[in-house]
Amino acid sequence: MTRIIGITGGIGSGKSTLSDRFRAHGIPVIDADAIARTALTPASDCFADATALFGPDALRPDGTADRAYIAAQVFADPKKREALNGIIHPYVLSEMLRRSKACTEPLAVWDVPLLFESGFDAFCACTVAVLCKEEIRIARVTERDGADEQNTRARIKAQITDEERERLASYTIRNEGSLEAFLFEADALIERIRKELE
């Protein structure tokens, strides 16, 4: 059975960069955010339940979801947001488990921004937290997405802190220096995890 390495970290910490490095080492990556983005497509298992929360106006004439309408409803009503998350999270988990079961490699990565908050860490053989000071993370996200600083700070506040990640994770890796230094340390960590899990 494939053993799962859960990767997490705050927004802009370098989580995707680390996941890419695992991929470069031949370890497949299952991306929770990418799966969550498919939740509101008609082919997903949760499409009917998720759109039903918002009534007939959530569907466009062609049967696809009206994402702008749903986003506005969720923005205006925290209860609706919770209800939608209550449908999307189990869908993401079941899809991640399904893909992991279908995986023929000994190891696979789960890239999950809210790994500990969601409890998905319970399915992982080990967990890795990418740690990085908030100011550096904000600068990176601003450069990557052209994101508004206040918006990024609000998103950081909705996540657990690096102190908590450090306490909960099996391994931690800091990403506050150059990209080269991070990749060098990442390679050593991947080898170490391979030895311990395979």
Residues of the shown chain interacting with ligand ADP in the complex, contacts defined by CB under 6 A: 9, 11-17, 140, 144, 175, 178-179, 182
Give the three-class secondary structure for 77.
Answer: coil
- Cβ burial of 113 (10 Å; 0-12, 13-18, 19+) is buried
- What is the nearest approach in angstroms of ligand ADP to the Cβ of residue 54? 29
Residue recorded with tokens 């309408």: 69
How far is 94 from 12, CA to CA, in rounded Å? 26
* Residue placing its CB nearer to ligand ADP in the complex, 46 or 186: 186
* Residue placing its CB nearer to ligand ADP in the complex, 6 or 9: 9
* Residue placing its CB nearer to ligand ADP in the complex, 163 or 198: 163
Residue recorded with tokens 């702008």: 68
Q: Residue 68: which of 48, 44, 76, 25 has the closest Cα?
A: 76
Give the three-class secondary structure for 109.
Answer: strand
- What is the nearest approach in angstroms of ligand ADP to the Cβ of residue 23? 12
Torsion of CA 146, 148, 149, 151, to 10 degrees: -130
How far is 173 from 128, CA to CA, in rounded Å? 7
**Identity of the amino acid at 158:** A
- What is the nearest approach in angstroms of ligand ADP to the Cβ of residue 60? 31
* Residue placing its CB nearer to ligand ADP in the complex, 15 or 89: 15
- What is the nearest approach in angstroms of ligand ADP to the Cβ of residue 71? 21
* Residue placing its CB nearer to ligand ADP in the complex, 89 or 140: 140
* Residue placing its CB nearer to ligand ADP in the complex, 35 or 46: 35
Strand order from edge to edge, sheet including 29-31: 29-31, 107-111, 3-9, 126-131, 171-174
- What is the nearest approach in angstroms of ligand ADP to the Cβ of residue 156? 11
- What is the nearest approach in angstroms of ligand ADP to the Cβ of residue 20? 8
